[in-house]
Structure 1
Amino acid sequence: MVNYSANNLLESNLLNFGRNINEATGEIINTNKKGETITPHQTAYYKGLTFVIYDTGSIFISGSIHKYYYNGLHNFKDFGIHEINHVLNDFKDNFKITPEQCILKNIELGANLIPPIKTETILNGCLLHKTKPFEFKYNSDEGKYLQCSHSQYWVKIYDKRKHYQKHFNIENDILRFELKFNRMEYFNKKDIYTLKDLIKSNLRRFKDRLLTEWNNVLFYDKTSINKSQKQLQYSNPYYWLELKSQNFKYHRNELNKLINQNPKNIKGQITKLLSKKIDIVNSKTNQNDTLYILSNRIVNKPSRI
C-alpha cells in the first residue's frame, strides 16, 4: 500500500496483531517452514482477511473481499458491484484505506453459475484449455477443482457447492469458472494499476475475456458425440495431445460442429449463462450476483485478496 500509515491498523480495535515467537527462547521467528529467512512482521486477522505489517514498513492485505462481505464465512452467495462498493466503504470507515492506496499484484475474474446439468459431468467433459490439459487439484480451502496453468494466468473450474455443503444448506450446484492472473500485464495495458483504477473502469470490459477463455475450453459433450465415429478418440485427452497443430484445429472444429448441432448444446448454454451473469452483476443496482473480482497481493508467493 502507498501513502498509508501502519498506525491506522495498529490502533484499530478490530485488529489484534501478533508475531511468531519461539516459545522455548522467546525470540521472534524469522524463518519459514523451509528454513528460509523472512522479513520480521506482525499479523492480524479479521473477517477472513490477513493484515501483515513488515518491519520494513510494507503493508499487505490478503484474503477474499467476497468472504469479508459475508463475515469471513463463505463466498458462494451473490457478490456484485453493489457489494464491492459496500466493502470499499467499510475499509475506509474501519481502517482508513482508500482504493487509490491499494496497488494490485494479482486479480481474479470469475463467475458462479447454476449449471444446466450436474457440475461433475461438466468437469469431466473439460479436457483441455487451448492445447493444454486440465489437471485435478486440491486444497483445504477450495476442495477439488480443475486447473490449467498458462504463463500469465490460470483457469479454474469447480463446484463451489461441494466446498460449503457440509456447513450450509445449498440447494443447487454452483459451477465456478474463473481466471486467476499471476501477472498484471493484461490489466496494466488497460491502465489498471490500483484498486481505484479497477473500480473506475467499466467491469464489462472483461466480459469478452471471460467468454473467450470459456470458449477456449475443449469440451467433450457425450450427448453430442454419442454414436459418432470419433466418440472414443474425442473423449480421450491423450488423443488431442498427440495431434499436430493443423490436425488439432481441424478436429476441434469438427467437435464443436457436433456440439453446436445438439439442441441441448451444454457448452453453449453455459456461455449464455456466463454472459447474462456478467451483465447482471455489473449493473449499478442493488441486484446481487456472483461475479466477483479479487485483487491479490504477493509477498514471497501468491496470496489472495
Structure 2
Amino acid sequence: MIDGISIELSEFDFRLWETIPELEFSVLTVVGSGEERGSRKAHYKGLDFIIEPKGKAKIKGSIHKFFNQGQHNTNRFTFEDFQEAVARLAAFGVNPQTAILKSFEIGLNLNTTTTKINTKTFLDSILYCRATERSEMELNGRTGYGYAYKTTNTTYKFYDKAEQSKIKAELLRVETKFVRMRAVESYGIYSLADLMDKAKLSKLIADKFLKMIDETIFFEWDQIKTTRQLPVKYKSKFKDLRNPDWWIKDERSRKERYRNKLLLEKLINQYAKRNIKNILKELISLEVSAFVRSKKGYEYTDFHNLKNWNLSKHAAKKGTDAQRIVCADSTEQGEVKKEKRYCLTCGKEITGQKTGSKYCNDQRKCRDKAYNLKVSEKKKARQTKKQKEILNLIKDLGAEFSLIRTTNPNRKKTKGVPRRKTSIIVNIGGKKRYFHGVAARFFLREFEKKTESLTKQQQYETDRI
C-alpha cells in the first residue's frame, strides 16, 4: 500500500554510503575542468540515494520495488512487507525515527479480471474527483491510460498499471500521493517511523484514500445510454449529471454537490444493470483486508479505522452482475440508499427481500443448509459431551464394568436385513446406565482399549516376576 517515498536523513553522515559497494555514485561535472556540479546519485533496486552538495542525504523512489529487489511494483504489498523493506534500509544507515518524510504515496493495484470489467472501462467511468480538472497521464509516451487530479497538497491518480509496467494483465492502480507534508501533519506523521504506526496509518488511509473513493463519482455511459426509462422530472437533470464538465464548471457548495451526487448514484442503482463504483469499492475492500493480514493468515486488530469500510467477500463472485441496492418506491433527491445485505450461506445479495431476511429465497436451499449445519454442530457438541462422560466412567469404573446386553457393533450390514441398534447397560453401584447407538459403540471401543492396556501391563509384570 505504501509505495513511492521521499525522505531526508537527519543526523546522518553521508560518508557511510561511500563505503557501501552496492552504491555507485555518479555526478554532473563541468566539461573541461571536471569540476563537480550538483548532487551525487546512486540508483539501487528502485531507490535513488542522493548526496547533496551541502552534505544532506536523501532517498527517493519506490520502496515497494526495493522490496522486490528492484524488479517491479505490480504485486500486492502488505503492511508486513513494508515493515521488512524498512528493516532492510538499516543496512544503509537509515533510522526510521530520523528519516523525515518529504512526500509519499499510498495506493493499491487492483486485479479487475475477477469482475469481467477491463481497466479502461473503470478509467472512462470517472466523472468527478475532488473538484479539480483531470489531466491525462503519460505512460511510456502514450496517453489515455490514466488520469491525475491535482490539489494543493495531494494528487489522486487512477491509471493502467499493466500499461505502465509493460505486462499483460488487467491491473488498475488507485493512488493518493502527498506532495506536501502539511496534508498529513494533523495525523502526527512526520517520519518513516510514523508510517509504521498502525493507528496513524489506518486513520490516514481511511480519511485520505478510502474517503476519496467514496466521494469520487463514477458513471458508465453504456449502462444508461438514453433518458428514455428515467422519470420525466429527472430527464433534463440527468443530462447535466452525466457530463464531467458540469461538475466543475460552476462553483457549487459542498452540500449542493453532495445532493447531486446522491441523485446520480440513486439513478444508477435503479436503472443501470450494474454499479461500477460498488464493484470497485469491493475490490478495494478485498485488497485492504489483504494489506492488514499477516503472513500467518491472521488479521491485524490494530487497523480499527479500516474494519468498517465496505468490507465484502463477494466481489469476485458477483462480477458484473451487481444487483440493485436502492428501491424505486420514492423519487425524492434526499433519499438515502439502503444498506446492502447478503445471504449468510451463498453470499447472494438479498437487499430487495423483506427486512430481517438472512437467506435468499432460492427454494429454501440456503435456509435449509444453514439449519442442517446448526443441527449438525449441536449434535456434534452433544456427542463430544457424551464421549467425555463415557471416558470418565471407564476411568473410574475399572473392573466394576458389567456388560448386560449388546449387539455386535462390527457386524456388516446385510441388504434387506435391518441392523439392530447397539445397546449396552452398565451397572454403577447397583444403578443402571443405558447407552445406545454411537455412544454405545464409542463406549465399547474405549473400554476394549483400556482392557487391552491393562492385560499388557499385567503380562509385563508377570514376566518380570
Is the counterpart of residue 91 in structure 1 residue 89 in structure 2? yes
Label 1:99 to 1:18 Cα distance change in 2 as closer, same or farther (>3 A): same
Structure 1 letter corresponding to 2:217: L
Task: Tell me which of 285, 289, 292 is aligned to 2:295.
Answer: 285
For residue 21 of structure 2, what is the aligned residue in structure 1?
13
Which runs of structure 2 are paired with 1:30-179 in the superposition (5 Å)? 40-92=38-90, 94-115=91-112, 116=115, 117-138=117-138, 140=140, 144-165=145-166, 168=167, 170=168, 172-179=169-176
For residue 200 of structure 1, what is the aligned residue in structure 2?
197
List alignment gaps of at least 5 residues for structure 2: 1-8, 228-234, 298-465
SS of 1:105 mapped into structure 2:
strand
Task: Tell me which of 261, 269, 273 is aligned to 2:283.
Answer: 273
Q: Compute the RMSD of aligned alpha carbons.
A: 2.4
Structure with the larger helix share = 2
Per mean C-alpha deviation after superposition, the further-off stretch among 13-22 and 135-144 is 135-144
Q: For residues 11-52 of structure 1, give each alpha carbon's deviation from its aligned partner in whole angstroms, at most 9, with x where no partner exists.
A: 1011112321133332223xxxxxxxxxx4322111121111
Per mean C-alpha deviation after superposition, the further-off stretch among 135-144 and 64-73 is 135-144
Structure of greater relative contact order (alpha carbons < 8 Å, 6+ residues apart)? 1
CA contact (8 A) 2:98 2:191 kept: yes
What TM-score do you get using the length of structure 1 for normalisation? 0.80
The offset of 1:224, in angstroms, is: 4.1
Instruction: Work out the number of aligned pairs and report it.
Output: 272
The offset of 1:161, in angstroms, is: 0.8
2-structure distance, mates of 1:244, 1:59: 44
For residue 212 of structure 1, what is the aligned residue in structure 2?
211
Per mean C-alpha deviation after superposition, the further-off stretch among 278-287 and 239-248 is 239-248
SS of 2:155 mapped into structure 1:
strand
1-structure distance, mates of 2:123, 2:13: 46
SS of 2:43 mapped into structure 1:
strand
Structure 2 letter corresponding to 1:208: A
2-structure distance, mates of 1:55, 1:141: 33
Structure 2 letter corresponding to 1:136: E
Label 1:122 to 1:16 Cα distance change in 2 as closer, same or farther (>3 A): same
Label 1:5 to 1:286 Cα distance change in 2 as closer, same or farther (>3 A): farther
Structure 2 letter corresponding to 1:21: T
2-structure distance, mates of 1:9, 1:87: 18
Q: Which has the larger radius of gyration?
A: 2
Q: For residues 275-297 of structure 1, give each alpha carbon's deviation from its aligned partner in whole angstroms, at most 9, with x where no partner exists.
A: 2211221223367xxxxxxxxxx
The offset of 1:86, in angstroms, is: 1.9
1-structure distance, mates of 2:81, 2:139: 27
For residue 33 of structure 1, what is the aligned residue in structure 2?
none
SS of 1:189 mapped into structure 2:
helix
What TM-score do you get using the length of structure 2 for normalisation? 0.54
Structure 2 letter corresponding to 1:157: F
Label 1:141 to 1:8 Cα distance change in 2 as closer, same or farther (>3 A): farther
The percent identity for this pair of structures is 26
Label 1:265 to 1:11 Cα distance change in 2 as closer, same or farther (>3 A): same
The offset of 1:253, in angstroms, is: 2.3
